[in-house]
Amino acid sequence: MNLLGIRRPWRLLAEASALVIAVIVAFPLYWMVLSAVKPSGEIQSTSPRPWTLSPSLDSFRRVFEQHEFGRYFLNSLLVAVTVVLASALIAFLAATAVTRFRFRFRTTLLIMFLVAQMVPVEALTIPLFFLMRDAGLLNTLGSLILPHLAFSLPFAIWMLRGFVKAVPEALEEAAYIDGASRTRFLWQILFPLVFPGLVATSVFSFISTWNDFLFAKSFIISDTSQSTLPMALLVFFKPDENDWGGIMAASTVMTVPVLVFFVLVQRRLVSGLGGAVKD
């Protein structure tokens, strides 16, 4: 049985290389977790070993013992979830508008959505800072939610376009014949069909929001109760002190939620990204 159209030795070679590459790609993550549980003496050793015989949770303790760590975690989660939900909703509506309707400036808008993705976020920190200040949002989570929403929207709309387009127009017409209103079609027919695409795009907004430390650093100036996770982790990012154990433990803590999110949506992500081509 030659299912994949290649001969056996070649397939074995392909599988072996896939596994080797998987190991190489996963190695940095393995090393991160490993260094997080190594006792500090072993981390500083000049002959690092790829295992440890005496795992310790000291590094994690240092991370979690920080003042109000749980609060930071919740703040991060709140910001990321708000951005994900809001951007999914807004992008869904916008993507529907630009794919299921013809109107003046449609192409212009599309080009603008593409161009909007190119804006260097870091350069906009300056004007955004003044904008947030004038809106009185500095030092609040709102100053993180709004810019992230704005920066994740163009990409989300751009991605979702393909999914919305992929829903056959005949379906829309059939719905109307059955007497469905536009609203009903939008939410009860189109929305569920586009949902995998929404998940795929949510991955991007979640990651960029969760990982951000530039805005957190710039906009949450002095109110520690509004700090997010990266701020708590930055404490360990002091190149001079080389607290690698703390850095790696903190990095692990920050990566795990994203990984969980990823694994949860993995299926939908692959089928979702595939949806863009079926068109």
Partner 1 sequence: MTNDTVSADTAPGSALRPRTPVRAPARERRTRRVGAGGWTPWLYLAPALVVLGGLLVYPIYQLGLISFLEYTQAQVSGGQPTTFKGLGNYATLFGDGEFWQVLLATVLFAAACVVTTLAAGCALAVLLTRVRALPRLALMLAALGAWATPAITGSTVWVFLFDPDHGPVNRLLGLGDFSWTYGRYSAFTLVLLEVVWCSFPFVMVTVYAGIRAIPSEVLEAASLDGASQWRTWRSVTAPMLRPILAVVTIQSVIWDFKVFTQIYVMTNGGGIAGQNLVLNVYAYQKAFASSQYSLGSAIGVVMLLILLAVTLVYLRIVRRRGEEL
Partner 2 sequence: MKLSARLIAPLAALVLAGLTVTGCAPQTSDTGATKDEKSGTLRVWLFQEVGNKPKERVVDAAVAAFREKHTDAKVEIEYIPVETRAQRVKAAFNDPKSAPDLIEYGNTDTAGYVKDGGLADIKAEFDAWGEAEDTDPTARQSVTVGGGIYGAPLFVGVRALYYRTDVLKELGLPVPTSQAALISTAKKIHRAKPGLYGLAVGGAYTYGAMPFLWANGGELAEESGGTFKAAVNSPAARKGIEAYTSLFGDDNCPAAKCASMGGNATVTAFASGKAAMAIGGDFSHSAVEEGAVKGKYAVVPLPGVAAGSIAPAFAGGNNIGVLKSSSHRTLAVELMKSLTGKKTQAELFDAMGFLPTYTDVRAASAEKQPFVAPFVKTLGAGAKFVPASAGWAQIDASLVLPTMFQEIVSGRKGVAAASDDAARKMDAAFSSAG
The binding track of 77-116 with respect to partner 1, each residue x by CB under 8 A or -, is: ------------xxx-xx-xxx-xxxx--xx-xxx--xxx
Residue bearing tokens 């030795």: 9
Q: Minimal distance in Å, beta carbon 238 to partner 2?
A: 6
217 binds, among partner 1, partner 2, none (CB under 5 to 8 A by kind): partner 2
Instruction: Give the separation between CA 247 and CA 62, rounded to whole angstroms.
Output: 10
- Closer to partner 2 by Cβ: residue 132 or 269: 132
Name the amino acid, one letter, at 44: Q
Residue 231 binds partner 1 (CB under 8 A): no
Q: Which of 55, 136, 187, 225 binds partner 1 (CB under 8 A)?
A: 187
d(CA 279, CA 135): 43
Q: Which residue do the tokens 């009903």 mark?
A: 184
Contacts to partner 1 from residues 151-180, by CB under 8 A:
151, 153-154, 157, 169, 173, 176-177, 179-180
Is residue 59 involved in binding partner 1 (CB under 8 A)? no
Range 80-94 burial, b when 16+ CB lie within 10 A, else e: bebbbebbbeebbeb
61 versus 278: smaller Cβ distance to partner 1: 278
CB atoms within 10 A of CB 10: 10
CB 83 within 8 A of CB 120: no
Q: Which among 76, 278, 97 has a CA at the least distance from the CA of 182?
A: 97
Nearer to partner 1, 92 or 226 (CB): 92
Tell me the per-residue interface mask from 200 to 229 with partner 1, x by CB under 8 A, - otherwise. Answer: -------x--xx-xx---------------
Which residue, 122 or 223, has its beta carbon nearer to partner 1? 122
Q: Which residues bind partner 2 (CB under 8 A)?
A: 82, 86, 89-90, 93, 127, 129-131, 133-136, 138-139, 146, 149, 181-183, 187, 217-218, 221-224, 234-235, 238-242
As measured in angstroms, the least distance from the Cβ of 157 to partner 1 is: 7
Q: Please, are residues 247 and 192 in contact by the beta-carbon 8 Å criterion? A: no
CB 158 within 8 A of CB 114: yes
- CA nearest to 235, candidates 259, 255, 261, 217: 217
